[in-house]
Structures are given as C-alpha cells and as structure tokens.
C-alpha cells in the first residue's frame, strides 16, 4: 500500500512539474524538445505558437498509441524561441538531423532543404542543390520555402542571361575554340561567353549582381529598375515597363535569408546574458555548417558581487566543456578576457552574426521571463515583495509601499459628483478597504477642489480612528492632481506620505509615472510587470468611481420623477425601486401588481399619475 502511494505521489509530482513548464511557455514560434528519464531527446517539434502546441499533448487522451507512448515517456521539456514560423521549420530540421530522436520517425530520412550555389568556375553557374561542398562554390540558404528559391532563380534568370550548360569551360578552352554556340544562345537565354561573344568581365558583373540579390542587397538594383520603368513608361512602352515591374515587385518582396540558418557561418559559439542582483541567465547557441544544432539556457545564482563579465566567462567555459565545443570563434554582446587559447571573441554590430546574437538575446530574455512567471505562480507572496521592492527602488522610497491608495473623481458637468478610493495591500486589491465619497462642499465641475475634499476627509478620518496611513498615494492624473493632494496631506494635515501621479497621453492611455515635487518622470518600461500593476490600480479606481457615479445618477433620476407624485413617500419609493428598478417599469406594471405591492390606495395614486390620459 505504501509503495502504491509513493508511485502515485511521484506521478503527481511529475505532472505538476510538466504542467508548470507548459503553462509558462511563450506564445511565440519556435521548436520544442521532449526528454525521457535518461535525459535523451525523444522528440523534436516545431510550432507557430509554442504554448498552444505543447499544451495539446497534455490536455487530452490520445487515441494514437505512438503519441500516447511518447507523452508517457516525457520527463522534461525545453524549447528555443525564433522569430518566424519558417525559422522554426528550419531549426526543427537541423535538430532532428543532429539528434535523430526516436519518435521523429518521419524525419529520419536525412532530407535537406535546397540551397542555391554560385560555382567557382571560370564562368560560374547559379543553380539549386541539396549537396553542400564548399570547395565547389558559395552557398546561400537553405530555403524551407521552396517557392522563394524558385522565385530567386527565376528572377536571376530573367535579369541576367547566365549560362546553364554543364560544360567545363576554362580560359584556355575558350581561346582554343573548343566550344560553340548552343540553343540557349539562339533563343537569347545566354550571350555565349564560351565563344567570346560576351567578355569575361561583363559576365562576372552579372555574377556579382546576382550574388548581391542572394545576399539581400537589392536597394541599388531596385532603384535602377524603378528608373527603367519610369523611362519606358515615358516612352509609352508599357508592356516592357510591366515586365520590369513584375521583376521589381518580386525583388522588393522576397526574403532570401533565414535568421536561423546561414551558409556563411561555421563552427561558432554564441552567448548572451541577462542578469539581476540575485541571478544571471545565460543562453548558448552552437552553429555548425550554418545551422544551429545546440541551444541551451541556464542560470547562475549569485553568491558574491560577481560582474556580468565574470558570469559570462564562467558560462562559456562550462558550456564548451559540457558540449565538447572546439569552436575558434565566440560571439558575445560585449568583450571579455577568455581563458581559452586560440579562441577569438567577436562583438558584431551588423550582419548574420549580429542576428544570431539578437536571437540568443531573445531566448535568454524569454527564459528569464518564464522562470519569473513560474516562480510567481509557485510563490505569489514573492511576486508581491518583488514588485514592492521595484517600486521602492524606482521612487527612492525609505520603506516598502505595503499599502497603496489611489483616488479618482467622477461627475457630469458637476452633477452627481462622487469620488472613489481604492486600496492595494501587498500589490493586491483590498476591497474591504475601498471607500466611496459623495462630494459635499464643491459646486460645479471642479476636479481639484473635489480631490482636496476627498483626501482631507479620508486622512482626517484615518487619523481620528488611529488606523494605518498609506505608504504611497497615487493620483489618477498629472502634476495638477499631485499638487492639490500635497497641499492637503503635507500643508494642512502635516503628514509625510509619498505622492505619485499617473499621467495619460493624448489618446487617454497611461504612459508615464510622475514622482517628487516638482514632479519628475520616472523611467519605467511600459511592458514591465510594475507598470502593469500601476495601470491595474489606475483602471480599478476609475472603474470604482464610475460605477458609484452611475449608481447615484440612476437613483437620482428615478427618485426625481417619483418625488413629483403626491402621496408617495420615501419608503414607497424604496419598495418600487427594489421591485421595478426604473420608472419605465413602474409605468408598465399592471394595476393588480401595484396593489399587491403597495395596497389599493397607493396603487390607485400611481395608476392615476401614469395613466391619467387614458
């Protein structure tokens, strides 16, 4: 019995572990890898949305026996984030060829995506191939989207009449007259450089321009095409202009390179780091033959005052040892002194290497975000403390903002003016402490005077009752609202409570946090967890104040009409409001219903009032 219980507990522990990973996966394209109990990769898959795809494996019972067996063997999940679905497809292909996972049986045939090669011959050729031999030429790709490859080849074919024959042509063979014009020359697909009808320099100029297209350097060529189109159109040669236009549009729209695979890169390690005061996250990518075949993100818990440079060096040494890397080049976000003989450090500013560095950065940031989300789910208290500490540091406060209060006014042209105060404790709403206020001393639409009244009433009452004052006051407004709150809190009540303001842009969206007197903008990313918390507080007080205003206005409108009926008092109005909720429904009620609720006399008074014209 004890053994069965232990097995059950282990299964539940594993299920909770995998569920925690799945729920925190990013909703981005990428590749996922499943590991068994020995740490071996048993499956690699691609996804347009990682979270949705991986979740589908664990959200239902699988009828397919193979899939059910795969899921039963999963003990860990890792993933790599990329920018596009096409990149995920390329990366999946590379990882499967690298690791040959047991359950990827349909992809074990070693199929390679096609590339485009520019040969090293005296008169180079350009064509597609699946075989890579760098001694024979320069390779571009591979291309997972084959129509893109065909479009490029077709574009080059239409722009440049390059030779497509398989003859071995050398400078000597041309001089010796060993060749003759073929059909391609006669149908104007080739200018016959093999017999000297086109000189070698002109032919190589075509090759150089074709290579620029394959590299994606098309700006100058596009400008040239545009000028030709305009010139032909001016000469009324519209058919020729349309032909160039088709080439121009194709050239403008195609994408010839992948950020995951680049045939120009070989045997390179890429590292990036993201750290805070407690932990450092380091991402490692290894590129072989232009393909990412290893990717791993890990973390170091800081013990002392280690710098990012120290941690990155430690991570580089550890990952290279673990994966047996012998790369002679390491791509990094900043220069470091590496204790590795014969290994150079590159800090790229542009190009393919820079894109790889940015991809590594994307992965390390995503890993950090996921780890933080996992930690917050397991320990919500930790998340609250972290947010309070971030806010304390951002504002330079002496103590943690345990209790935050925020105010907002609501009225229409000064009528039915009300205000609301919401209270957040430990970064969570404390609805029992919310308070609503009817503005009593202000006539007309004066938000500043209304705010003064509410703040004065709030903190005078808290002082009199000996209750805790807030650690931070936030106003739903900018500098003006902050100043009137300060006048009451500091000048009148002699209290020392930090005051901040949330200002909106011209589209009424919160875009900055203000603090201090005179108020200064506090630098903060608008997509950070802290900024989202502040926006939540602002939205909550806005909702709370408007809800109270609507409730008061509704009651006022109903009461005002019922007040005009002689013989209907306050208690009767309350009964009617509770039963019918609006004057319209009172008017539509039949006489029997009114008599049942109010009695014959009062029902008769109401009936006569609403139906006197009938």
Please name the residue that has the structure tokens 């991402």.
283
| 420 CB neighbour count, 10 Å cutoff | 25
Mean pLDDT per segment of 10 residues, for the chain of length 614 residues? 66 90 92 93 90 91 82 93 77 77 55 80 93 86 68 84 92 92 91 93 91 74 85 91 81 52 76 85 82 76 72 84 84 88 90 88 86 74 83 88 89 71 91 88 79 91 90 86 90 90 72 84 79 87 83 62 73 77 79 84 82 60
Nearest one of 67, 64, 82, 83 to 34, comparing CA atoms = 67
pLDDT, position 263: 61
Which element (helix H / strand E) includes 260? Answer: none
Under the phi-then-psi rule, with left for phi > 0, alpha for psi from -120 to 50, and beta for the rest, what region is 516?
Answer: left
**DSSP letter string over 455-470?**
HHHHHHHHHHHTPPPP
Residues 472/496, Cβ–Cβ less than 8 Å? no
pTM tops 0.95: no
| 603 CB neighbour count, 10 Å cutoff | 19
**DSSP letter string over 49-77?**
SHHHHHHHHHSS--SSHHHHHHHHH--EE
HEC string of 353-416? HHHHHHHHHHHHHHHHHHHHHHHHHHCHHHHHHHHHHHHHHHHCCCCCCCEEEEEEEEEECCEE
The encoded tokens of residue 221 equal: 């060529």
The encoded tokens of residue 497 equal: 């409570």
pLDDT, position 202: 93
Burial of residue 163 (CB within 10 Å: 0-12, 13-18, 19+) is: buried
pLDDT, position 106: 42
| 534 CB neighbour count, 10 Å cutoff | 23
Nearest one of 529, 285, 226 to 391, comparing CA atoms = 529
pLDDT, position 3: 54
- Rounded to an integer, what distance in angstroms lies between the CA atom of residue 558 and that of residue 549? 14
pLDDT, position 62: 81
- Rounded to an integer, what distance in angstroms lies between the CA atom of residue 465 and that of residue 327? 71
DSSP state of 433: G
Burial of residue 451 (CB within 10 Å: 0-12, 13-18, 19+) is: buried
pLDDT, position 105: 47
Helix-, strand-, coil-residue percentages of the chain, each rounded to 5: 50, 20, 35
pLDDT, position 272: 94
- Rounded to an integer, what distance in angstroms lies between the CA atom of residue 251 and that of residue 247? 6
How open is the CA angle 329-332-334, to the nearest 5 degrees?
130
Please name the residue that has the structure tokens 């320069």.
138
Strands 268-275 and 329-331: parallel
Domains of the chain: 18-107 (3.40.1440.10), 115-216 (no CATH), 268-376 (3.30.420), 389-552 (3.30.420.340), 563-611 (no CATH)
């Amino acid at each position: 019995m004890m053994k069965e219980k232990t097995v059950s507990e282990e299964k539940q522990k594993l299920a909770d572990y995998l569920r925690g990973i799945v729920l925190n996966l990013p909703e981005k394209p990428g590749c996922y890898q499943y590991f068994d109990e020995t740490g071996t990769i048993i499956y690699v898959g691609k996804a347009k949305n990682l979270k949705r795809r991986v979740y589908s494996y664990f959200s239902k019972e699988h009828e397919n026996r193979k899939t059910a067996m795969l899921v039963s063997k999963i003990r860990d999940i890792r993933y790599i984030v990329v920018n596009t679905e096409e990149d995920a497809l390329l990366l999946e292909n590379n990882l499967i060829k690298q690791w040959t996972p047991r359950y990827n049986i349909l992809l074990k045939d070693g199929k390679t995506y096609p590339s485009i090669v520019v040969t090293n011959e005296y008169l180079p050729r350009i064509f597609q191939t699946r075989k890579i031999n760098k001694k024979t030429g320069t390779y571009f790709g591979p291309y997972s989207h084959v129509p893109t490859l065909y479009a490029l080849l077709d574009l080059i074919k239409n722009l440049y009449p390059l030779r497509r024959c398989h003859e071995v042509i050398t400078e000597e063979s041309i001089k010796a007259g060993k060749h003759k014009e073929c059909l391609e020359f006669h149908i104007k697909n080739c200018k016959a450089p093999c017999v000297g009808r086109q000189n070698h320099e002109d032919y190589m100029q075509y090759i150089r321009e074709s290579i620029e297209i394959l590299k994606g350097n098309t700006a100058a060529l596009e400008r040239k095409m545009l000028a030709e189109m305009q010139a032909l159109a001016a000469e009324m040669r519209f058919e020729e202009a349309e032909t160039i236009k088709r080439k121009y549009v194709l050239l403008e729209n195609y994408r010839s390179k992948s950020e995951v695979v680049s045939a120009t890169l070989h045997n390179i390690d890429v590292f990036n780091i993201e750290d805070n005061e407690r932990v450092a996250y380091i991402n490692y990518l290894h590129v072989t033959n232009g393909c990412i075949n290893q990717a791993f993100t890990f973390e170091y818990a800081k013990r002392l005052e280690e710098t990012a440079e120290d941690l990155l060096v430690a991570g580089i040494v550890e990952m290279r040892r673990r994966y047996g890397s012998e790369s002679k080049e390491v791509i990094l976000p900043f220069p470091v002194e590496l204790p590795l003989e014969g290994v150079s450090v590159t800090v790229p500013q542009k190009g393919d290497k820079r894109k790889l560095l940015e991809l590594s950065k994307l992965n390390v940031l995503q890993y950090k975000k996921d780890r933080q989300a996992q930690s917050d789910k397991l320990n919500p208290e930790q998340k609250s403390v972290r947010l309070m500490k971030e806010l304390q540091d951002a504002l330079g406060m002496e103590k943690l903002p345990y209790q935050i209060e925020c105010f907002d006014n609501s009225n229409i042209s000064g009528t039915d003016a009300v205000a609301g105060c919401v209270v957040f404790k430990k970064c969570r709403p404390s609805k029992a402490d919310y308070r609503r206020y009817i503005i009593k001393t202000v006539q007309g639409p004066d938000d500043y005077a209304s705010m003064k009244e509410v703040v004065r009433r709030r903190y005078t009452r808290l002082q009199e009752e000996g209750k805790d004052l807030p650690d931070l006051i936030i106003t739903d407004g900018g500098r003006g609202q902050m100043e009137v709150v300060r006048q009451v809190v500091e000048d009148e009540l002699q209290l020392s409570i930090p005051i901040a303001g949330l200002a909106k842009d011209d589209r009424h969206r919160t875009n900055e946090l203000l603090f201090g007197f005179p108020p200064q903008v506090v630098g903060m990313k608008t997509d950070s967890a802290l900024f989202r918390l502040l926006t939540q507080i602002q939205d909550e007080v806005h909702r709370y104040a408007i809800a109270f205003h609507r409730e008061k206005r509704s009651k006022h409108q109903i009461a005002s009409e019922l007040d005009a009926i002689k013989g209907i008092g306050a208690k009767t109005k309350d009964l009617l409001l509770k039963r019918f909720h609006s004057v319209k429904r009172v008017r539509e009620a039949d006489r029997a219903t009114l008599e049942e609720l109010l009695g014959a006399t009062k029902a008769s008074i109401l009936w006569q009032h609403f139906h006197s014209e009938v």
